Amino acid sequence: MREFLVLKFSYLAMLVFTAVASFWLEFAFKVHVLRRMKRVLLSLLPISLGFLIWDAYAIAQGHWYFDKKQVTGLNGPFNIPIEEIFFFLVIPLAVLMTLEGVTRLKPNWKNPKSR
Partner 1 sequence: MIYSDIVIAILILSVIFDLFGLKNSLLTRPLFWSSYAIILPFQLLTNWWLTSRNIVMYDPDVISGLRIMSAPIEDLIFGFALILNIMGMWEYWGAKGVQKD
Smallest separation (angstroms) from partner 1 to the CB of 85: 14
Residue 2 near partner 1 by CB under 8 A:
no
Smallest separation (angstroms) from partner 1 to the CB of 77: 19
State the helix-helix crossing angle for 82-105 and 10-28, rounded to 10 degrees. Answer: 30
Question: Of the two residues 85 and 91, which places its CB atom closer to partner 1 in the complex?
Answer: 91
Residue 64 near partner 1 by CB under 8 A:
yes
Residue 74 near partner 1 by CB under 8 A:
no
**How far from the centroid of its chain's Cα atoms is residue 97's Cα?**
11
Helix (H, G, I), strand (E, B) or coil at 14: helix
Helix (H, G, I), strand (E, B) or coil at 10: helix
- Distances in Å between the Cα of 5 and the Cα atoms of 16, 48, 69, 73, 98 are 17, 29, 9, 12, 33
Residue 104 near partner 1 by CB under 8 A:
no
CA atoms within 13 A on the CB side of 67: 9
Q: Point out which residues bind partner 1 (CB under 8 A).
A: 10-11, 14, 17-18, 21, 32, 36, 38-40, 42-44, 46-47, 51, 54, 58, 61-67, 70-71, 88, 91-92, 94-96, 98-99, 101-103, 106, 109-114
